[in-house]
Amino acid sequence: MATCGSLCCDGGFDKDGVSTTRTIESCLPLPLPVEILEDIVPKAKDFAILHGAGMRYRTNYDPDSLQLAPFFLLPSAFPRREFERVVKLQSIVNILMHRIAHDYQFLKDALEKTIKVDDFTRRLWDIYTTVREEGVSQEMSLGLVRSDVMLTKCQAGCCELCQTPPFVTVHQVEVNTIASGFGHMGPISGSINRYVLGELRKPELLGHLPENDALAGLCGGMIAAWDAYGCPKAVILFVVEDVTYNICDQRFHEYEIRRQRPDIHVIRRNLTQISQQGCLTSDKRLIIDGDEIAVVYFRAGYEPGQYHSEAEWEARLTVERSKAIKSPSIHYHLAGTKKVQQEIARPGVLNKFLSDSEAKLVSQLFTGLYTLDMSPEGDQAVQMAMENPERFVLKPQREGGGNNVYGQEIRTVLEKIKDSQEREAYILMDRIRPPIQQNYLIRAHEPVKLVEVVSELGIFGTILGTAKDIQFSKFAGHMLRTKLSSVNEGGVAAGLGALDSVFLFD
Ligand SMILES: Nc1ncnc2c1ncn2[C@@H]1O[C@H](COP(=O)(O)OP(=O)(O)OP(=O)(O)O)[C@@H](O)[C@H]1O
Ligand SMILES: [Mg+2]
């Protein structure tokens, strides 16, 4: 019998020459006997819903009830070496994002062409320049970031990391600087999987599941920012969607702040409400409904649909003008765009922001990223993608999932835009092919299913500081989202992915 985590490759290849059959063995031999499954699944569902692994119903929204969030019965095997590597790197990744956010010229050069064709990014950029020209009233920013990575086996055994066991390495999908969710769902998924292993009478396996203090870490970041603001009566503002489906993941942040600091109050408002109830004092304090705001935590504002009219844009500008410490401030939001990510991956750029040794470590996370600018370099990328669309992902400047283009669809989209500047709204990225493993998918109102899956690990980081002075930069926990190996994107709220946790193997 193969042991957990052992990696097999039986030599099947897809038409791009990428092995299709790399698999990772699960933490337990599968399938589980039917009688065991029949016993454990209802217990796991009860544990999940009773610990806040829930979401609001998308259809038939009902404020009085919650639907079970989809989750995997068992933790997914993940190589310890790679997990520890990204955990250790996170504080450097935070600092990188912080320095990029504070480099006006770099952001300007990186986004110059994008903002000519992407209206959403241009509006963010306009807010940034307005605030900059007026004089920034709050020098301090709070970064609550999440670096998303996937396991991959480099195609030609191309680096030192994929040449030694477990013959895989991680590559970064992106770094999120706004609304980095799953600070609650990440740790809760670990609790569900721990409970399940306990009920399966496998306590000896529990040591493979790493601690996960994401909720405490992210909320600790907000509390540190609140302290730095220095006004005991001021509150924390969560900027939220009009309707929040992923309610547990937000509310538990509020409860954790209350647990850590009963003296701090949190209020929630959407952008429309901020436009109606928010104002600035002459010294730029942000007041909402009589409360002074110390810290603004954006869980919305990252997609065009959340700005219904000019009023919501005005609201965002009001917040950015204010003295409140923002997570993210507008320049942090811009630093997290896909175009900036692609520019950072150019040779030599990391060395502008990090020491040579740090730059080397971070660069090992990167996979191929290509500009689609109207230039010979961009032409070459277009040609490459048209010839081999399965090897790439085409990405617009959007967040929140469901916007990227995959496979043959890349050809269709590029065919339309390849000769116009419209293509500069996108970037091209190598498609990461994570190894497959099996797990039991549990979804509300559906029978449990043994399925083939791939995982994406999110590493949280917190950072607080000004351009010149960083007060702290920390690793702040993790989350794992797992999806069917057959789908392109695995949004949990969209129903394509599910909550999961890591089972470390050596
Ligand atoms: N290079 C890639 N290779 C393979 N899959 C990818 C790649 N880039 C993105 N994906 C898939 O698409 C999903 C969304 O991609 P990405 O994170 O770039 O977009 P997003 O809209 O910012 O999503 P999020 O809301 O998670 O921040 C990822 O979670 C991953 O499943
Ligand atoms: Mg994102």
Give the chain's mean pLDDT: 94
DSSP helix/strand/coil, 137: coil
Protein fold of 369-431:
Dna Ligase; domain 1 (3.30.1490)
User: What mean pLDDT is predicted for residues 223-241?
Assistant: 98
Look at ligand 1, atom 1, and give the residue with the nearest C-alpha: 431
pLDDT number for residue 3: 58
Q: Whose CA is closest to atom 12 on ligand 1?
A: 489
How much is the pLDDT for 207? 98
Q: Which of 456, 489, 499 to mutate to test the pocket of ligand 1 (most atoms within 8 A of CB)?
A: 489
User: Which ligand approaches the C-alpha of residue 491 most closely?
Assistant: 1
Model confidence at 11, pLDDT cuts 50, 70, 90, reads: very low
Cα-Cα-Cα-Cα dihedral of 451, 402, 303, 54, to 10°? Answer: -20
Condensed to tens digits (0 to 9), the pLDDT of residues 108-150 reads: 999 999 999 999 999 999 999 999 999 999 999 999 999 999 9
Q: Ligand 2 centroid vs 395 CA: distance in angstroms?
A: 11
The predicted structure's pLDDT at residue 494:
74
Please list the residues that pair with 461 across neighbouring strands. 145, 475
Nearest atom within ligand 1 for CA of residue 180: 27
Is the pLDDT reported for residue 428 higher than 70? yes
**Binding-site residue positions:** 250, 338, 395-404, 406, 429-432, 456, 481, 483, 489
CA–CA distance from 227 to each of 201, 221, 224, 232, 434 (Å)?
45, 10, 5, 8, 41
Q: How far is CA 246 from CA 185, 270, 493, 500, in A?
A: 10, 15, 7, 16
Within 10 A of 144 (CB to CB), how many other CB atoms are there? 29
* Angle at which helices 119-134 and 310-321 cross, to 10°: 40
Average pLDDT of span 222-248? 98
Q: What percent of the chain has pLDDT over 90?
A: 88
> Does 160 score more than 80 pLDDT?
no
174 lines ligand 1 (CB under 6 A): yes
Q: Is the pLDDT of residue 17 over 50?
A: no
pLDDT at 25 over 50: yes
Q: What is the pLDDT of residue 5?
A: 60
> Peptide bond preceding 328: is omega within 30 degrees of 0, i.e. cis?
yes
Q: Which atom of ligand 1 is nearest to the CA of 401?
A: 21
494 close to ligand 1 (CB < 6 Angstrom): no
pLDDT band at 4 (very low <50, low <70, confident <90, very high): low
Q: What is the pLDDT of residue 6?
A: 58
Would you say 278 and 318 are in contact if contact means Cβ atoms under 8 Å apart?
yes
Ligand 1 neighbour 373 (Cβ under 6 A): no
For 348-386, what is the HEC assignment? Answer: CCHHHHCCHHHHHHHHCCCCCEEECCCCHHHHHHHHHHH
Judged against a pLDDT cut of 80, whether residue 274 lies above it is answered with yes
Cα 37 to ligand 2 centre (Å): 35
Taking residues 300-310, what's their average pLDDT? 97
Question: Under a CB-based contact definition with an 8 Å cutoff, are residues 219 and 277 in contact?
Answer: no
Q: Best substitution site from 173, 341, 406, 453 to test ligand 1's pocket, by max atoms within 8 Å of Cβ? A: 173
pLDDT at 403: 94
For residue 261, how far is its CA from the centre of ligand 1 (angstroms)? 35
Residue 271 parent element (H or E): helix 271-277
pLDDT category of residue 10 using cuts at 50, 70 and 90: very low
Does the beta carbon of 303 lie inside 6 Å of ligand 1? no
Q: Does ligand 1 come within 6 angstroms of the Cβ of 489? A: yes
Is the model's pLDDT at 8 over the cut of 70?
A: no
Could you give the angle at the alpha carbon of 375 between the alpha carbons of 372 and 379, nearest 5°?
A: 60
Q: Please count the CA atoms within 13 angstroms of the CA of 138 that sit on its side-chain side.
A: 32
Domain with CATH 3.30.1490.50 in the chain: 369-431
Q: Binding-site residues for Mg(2+), please? A: 399
pLDDT one-digit tens code per residue, 182-201 = 999 999 999 999 999 999 99
DSSP state of 203: G
Indicate if the pLDDT at residue 493 is higher than 80.
no
